[in-house]
Structures are given as C-alpha cells and as structure tokens.
Amino acid sequence: MTKQVQQLDRVIIRFAGDSGDGMQLTGDRFTAETAEFGNDLSTLPNFPAEIRAPAGTLPGVSSFQLHFADHDILTPGDAPNVLVAMNPAALKANLGDLPRGADIIVNTDEFTKRNLAKVGYAASPVDDDSLAEWRVHAVPLTSLTVGALDGFEISKKDAERAKNMFALGLLSWLYHRPTEATIKFLETKFAKMPVIAKANVAAFQAGWNYGETTESFSVSYEIKPARLEPGVYRNISGNQALAYGLIAGSVQSGLPLFLGSYPITPASDILHELSRHKRFGIRTFQAEDEIAGVGAALGASFGGSLGVTTTSGPGVALKAETVGLAVTTELPLIVVDVQRAGPSTGMPTKTEQADLLMAMFGRNGESPVPIVAPATPSDCFHAAIEATRIAVTYRTPVILLSDGYLANGSEPWRIPDVSTLPVIEPGFAAGPNGADGETFEPFRRDPETLARPWAVPGTPGLEHRIGGIEKADITGNISYDPDNHDTMVRLRQSKIDGIDVPDLEVDDPDGDARVLVLGWGSTYGPIAAAARRVRRAGGKVAQAHLRHLNPLPANTGEVLKSYDKVLLPEINLGQLALLLRARFLVDVISYNRVRGLPFKAEELAGVIQDVIDSE
C-alpha cells in the first residue's frame, strides 16, 4: 500500500521497558542510525541502579530518550512525541511525561492481568478510554517477533528476547533510518552465535516490514539531515569523549597515561574505554578500592607519567587524603568525578551537581585545587585536555567535574584537527637548579607559574625528599617552622589563583539585557535552550557559562555586576551561588532542583521570564 510521508523538523522518542528488555541497546542503535543519517541529536538514558529490578514493576523500568532534528538542538527534549512501551509498567511510569496527542506504541502481549496488577491497573488502559487523549498503536510485539522467528532453531524465550529488535525495525521504518549499520552490528555482536545473530536480524527486518505493510501506520516521517559545520562527525557519549580527551592530553604532553581506578557508576565506562587503547601507551589499573586507585595514580605521577583516577561522589570522599598529598607534594594528578545523586550511595544512575563544595573544600588543611567542568557530552573531550594542561603546567591535582547526564548522554562530535590541539610541555627538571650549580632545589618555583620542578626519579643529581610532612620553601627539607608553613600555604594558594584561564564570555545578542542566566556543567544545554525560547517570545536575556570553577575567570565579578539580576540554576541546593555571593557580594538568584534529572528547557524558560517580569 502507498503510504504518506510527512516532513518534520524534530522528534523526541522514548523507548521504555523492563531492564532486561534491551531498551538501552535499542536506543543506542536508533541513535547510531540517526547519527549516520546526519541529524543533530541529544540523548538521555535512564535506568535503575539494581542489576535486575523485579520484572514488570515500576522500579524496574528502563528508558532511553532521543531528540533528533534537522537543526541545531541542545537538549534531549522536555517531553516525548513518541513512547514505545514494552509493558504496563513502562506505560504507567512514562505517561505523565507525554503531551496530549503524542503517539504511544504499546506491546499488547505484555498487558496481561498479572502485569497490569503489578502496577495497579484494574483493567488494561489500552481497552478503555483512559488513553483517549493520545494516539495509541496497539502492536503485539512479542507474538509478532515469535512468529517471525518460527523455523529458527532457538527457544521461545530467545525468540521473545528479540522483540526489542522488532521494535527497532518498526521505528527505523517509521522515521526512515538507515538499517545497514544495525544489521552489521548484530552480525558482529553475535558472531559466536550465528543462529542468534540471524534471528535478531530477522526480527529487525520483520519490524521494518510490519511498518511497511500494516494498516496501523498510514504515515511515516522524514526528518532531513541537519546543517552542521563542515567536518568529520561521529556520535559520542560524555564518558567516551572524556577518555579520548585524556588520551589526547597524554599525546600532546608526551606523557604516558596511567589510570588507577576502582569501578563505580557512572564513571566505569572511562576505565573500560581507556583499557582498549594500549597502543597509545595507556596503562589501566583496576584497583581493589578507591584509595588504592588514587594512590597508584599519584605514584605514577611521581614517576613521570600523567596520573589519572576516575570515580563518583563517594569515591571522591575516599580519595581526599591522597589528593591532599598531591597538593602538598605539588605533582600533576587528574581526578575525574562523574557526579551522581547522593548522599552516600544515593541514586547511583541519576545525575546531580552536588559535589562542587566537596571538590572545593573536601580535604583537610588549606589544600586548593583547580576545578574544570565540561558543558556537554562532546565538551568532555576538550575539558579533559584543559585539565591535563593545568595539572602538568602548574604541578597540581585538578578535579574534573562531569556528571551522570553528560557521561551517559550523547551527541554528534566534530572530530578536531589534531594540529589545533594545544601542545603541553611537561618541562622535566634536567639537572641541578641551585645557585651553586650543583644542588637540586625541589621547591624553587617558576617565576610565572609558581610550579616547582618535576624531577623524575633516577635522574642523576635530582635526588630529593618528598612526602606529606610540610616542606621548607626551596630546599624541600622537612620543616615545622611556623613562618615557613605560612609561606608554603600562601604559595600553593597563589599558584592556583594565578592559573591562566579564559575570560567568561557572555551571550547577549542585543547588548541591553538586564537579566543574566549563569550556569556551569551540564546545565548548559537546558539554559541555552530556555534562553532561545525567551528570546523568540520577545524577552531579553543574557547567558554565560562557567567552565573554570576554581580559579574563576578574572572578569567574573565584573560580569555579575553588569546585570540587574543574575539567575543561577543548579542541580543542587545552591552550591555555586553560595560561593559567588561570598566572593562577589552579588545577590544571585538560585533556582535549584535535585530530582536526579536534568532541567527541562520549558521549565527554565518560565523561571527566566518570571525574573524578567519582576524587573
């Protein structure tokens, strides 16, 4: 039958089902198809922390949201236009997010009395009028998949598991996605199980053919490729980008990279990714605990490598003592904190920005460290290089504050020209630097950076004492002298304060906005999208985003005082606002949510407009 093709400028799709239904894989593959087609995109995976929550229950629902468009977009979208619900729990958990008129594709095979009862449905909502405000497509995905695989020498259970590929095929037809890469992916993934590979490919193709032939879908949709800046692109997640940025920092500095890490959600993917790149001289060490991981990384830095450790909130707390040791020994160290919802174990698969104050002050004594925060998944690459530059140039630990939303989210990334990446000079000490030409003085500082010499063990003439006890200025000898301690504390602080960071840039199109929206980290996308909405409606608003949180850009105070009101949305209870109020005496307006989810652009647009209207 001939079917109508409708042009759209953007679509938001959410796949939802049990944790064992393969929703993350389905979303990943649909994202890969979309990236190959050339749309701009942004994703939001959302899944429970339990390895396998009770099947068919609300706590066990896993989802993957994808926003793709023919133009530049900034967020995974506020609300889905399409929900694929694999069971009643998936429908009930996500229905509240759906705008009226949205499409719901329901796997009716799973709407049994038992599954309905698990989530409190007295009767199937597909059969009554409770879904009348949405466009419901009742599709028996499970039985259609089993039927399509009849004749394959696999069990019924294995056949049912392929229903996510049937759904992926259907959605790929519905939105004109290329399919060759998915077929190749399935053949590669199940190469050791040829029958399973063929079954999944058959299920995928059956879903496509179902969309092509069924009368349930009379319209398919086309979203043209986006006009992106010329270059070579790939889809990338934040954790992947961060791993590649660390590799690039290693190459650009000429330092072998050593990662000492203990697996922890949502940072573990960085360990997994880096372990694949031994050809770049990368060494990964899965330690027995967080303390061992950071200790090994600092030891590697002492030995002349680029020491890195990755973790999330609880792990940062355990690493604090060793980070303090890196502060006083003044050695390069990169501590990656992929923030998650806390406190304690909290909600390990949900996002939050609540580690800023811990990054600033979470060590004993006066132990300042630079803090860098990426803004988008692809920006994690450049933030990792910047953290490397600061750590190596200034001989200091650096905390890189990513979060769960950036780590798991993805977007198109234009692969940079390697020649444009900064060259990072480690500047190892080559010989004695004392006034007599024979003595090595391990704490004689560079007059510009205040960095001390980095002496690789075993270099003749550079033997020196190092440890956690306070050192004498210049000589590095153990010292309990009160005046020397005061001097060393102030020198370490001055070194951090003097780090060269770019000025804070402000996006103020007309130059006459009276309200500034300031952000940091992963709030960039929702804030920028909200600012666009306000401007389209005629409002005037400026936007600025902080990458460097310590030290702050030199013009930060000037920027804040240039506007009548400064709005600061954070996924915490106002941590950066507290710091800015204390330092610049500016009455920053905090807007705070701690729901484990990123802000919605519509929500922030309303908040911005309220602040403008109050002027």
Could you state, in order of their start, the residue ranges of all structural domains in the chain?
Answer: 4-222, 234-420, 506-613
Q: Model confidence at 508, in pLDDT bands (50, 70, 90)?
A: very high
Q: What is the pLDDT of residue 435?
A: 87
In this predicted structure, the answer to whether residue 52 has a pLDDT above a threshold of 90 is: no
Q: What is the pLDDT of residue 223?
A: 97
**pLDDT tens-digit readout, 68-99:** 999 999 999 999 999 999 999 999 999 999 99
Q: Which of 362, 361, 428, 388 is nearest to 307 (CA)?
A: 388
Span 506-613 CATH architecture: 3-Layer(aba) Sandwich (3.40)
In this predicted structure, the answer to whether residue 208 has a pLDDT above a threshold of 80 is: yes
In this predicted structure, the answer to whether residue 2 has a pLDDT above a threshold of 90 is: no
Percent of the chain with pLDDT over 90: 96
Q: At what angle do helices 194-213 and 180-189 cross, to 10 degrees?
A: 150
**pLDDT tens-digit readout, 542-562:** 999 999 999 999 999 999 999
Structure token pair of residue 94:
């996500």
Q: How far apart are CA 394 and CA 329, in angstroms?
A: 12
Q: Model confidence at 1, in pLDDT bands (50, 70, 90)?
A: low
In this predicted structure, the answer to whether residue 509 has a pLDDT above a threshold of 90 is: yes
Q: What is the pLDDT of residue 51?
A: 75
Mean pLDDT of 534-541: 97
Task: Tell me, yes or no, if the two domains 234-420 and 506-613 fold the same way.
Answer: yes
Mean pLDDT of 34-59: 92
**pLDDT tens-digit readout, 238-257:** 999 999 999 999 999 999 99
Q: How far apart are CA 572 and CA 28, in angstroms?
A: 29
- Mean of the per-residue pLDDT values for the chain? 96
- Cα 232 to Cα 130, 224, 381: the distances in Å are 47, 18, 16
Q: What is the pLDDT of residue 167?
A: 98
Which is more confident, 139 or 615?
139
Using a 10 angstrom Cβ sphere, with 0-12 exposed, 13-18 middle and 19 or more buried, the burial of residue 231 is exposed
Q: Model confidence at 3, in pLDDT bands (50, 70, 90)?
A: confident
Question: Cα-flanking dihedrals φ and ψ of residue 164, to 5°?
Answer: -70, -30
In this predicted structure, the answer to whether residue 587 has a pLDDT above a threshold of 70 is: yes
Mean pLDDT of 375-384: 98
**pLDDT tens-digit readout, 305-347:** 999 999 999 999 999 999 999 999 999 999 999 999 999 999 9
245: helix, coil or strand? Answer: helix
**3-class secondary structure per residue, 327-376:** HHHCCCEEEEEEECECCCCCECCCCCCCCHHHHHHCCCCCCCCCEECCCC
In this predicted structure, the answer to whether residue 489 has a pLDDT above a threshold of 90 is: yes
Q: Decide if 568 contacts 589 (C-beta within 8 A).
A: yes
Structure token pair of residue 308:
């890195």
In this predicted structure, the answer to whether residue 57 has a pLDDT above a threshold of 80 is: yes
321: helix, coil or strand? Answer: helix
Laid out side by side, the sheet with 40-46 consists of 40-46, 61-69, 10-18, 82-85, 103-107, 135-139
Span 234-420 CATH architecture: 3-Layer(aba) Sandwich (3.40)
CATH of 4-222, one of 3.40.920.10, 3.30.70.270, 3.20.20.70, 2.60.120.10: 3.40.920.10
* Degrees, nearest 5: CA angle 115-15-212: 100
Mean pLDDT of 227-237: 94
Question: Cα-flanking dihedrals φ and ψ of residue 80, to 5°?
Answer: -70, 145
Q: Which residue has the tokens 């590929």?
A: 165
Mean pLDDT of 340-356: 97
In this predicted structure, the answer to whether residue 615 has a pLDDT above a threshold of 80 is: no
The torsion angle over the Cα atoms of residues 418, 424, 429 and 435, rounded to 10 degrees, is 140
Mean pLDDT of 399-426: 97
Laid out side by side, the sheet with 565-570 consists of 506-507, 542-546, 515-520, 565-570, 589-592
Q: Which of 152, 593, 527, 112 is nearest to 341 (CA)?
A: 593
Q: What is the pLDDT of residue 374?
A: 98
440: helix, coil or strand? Answer: coil
Q: How far apart are CA 32 and CA 401, in angstroms?
A: 27
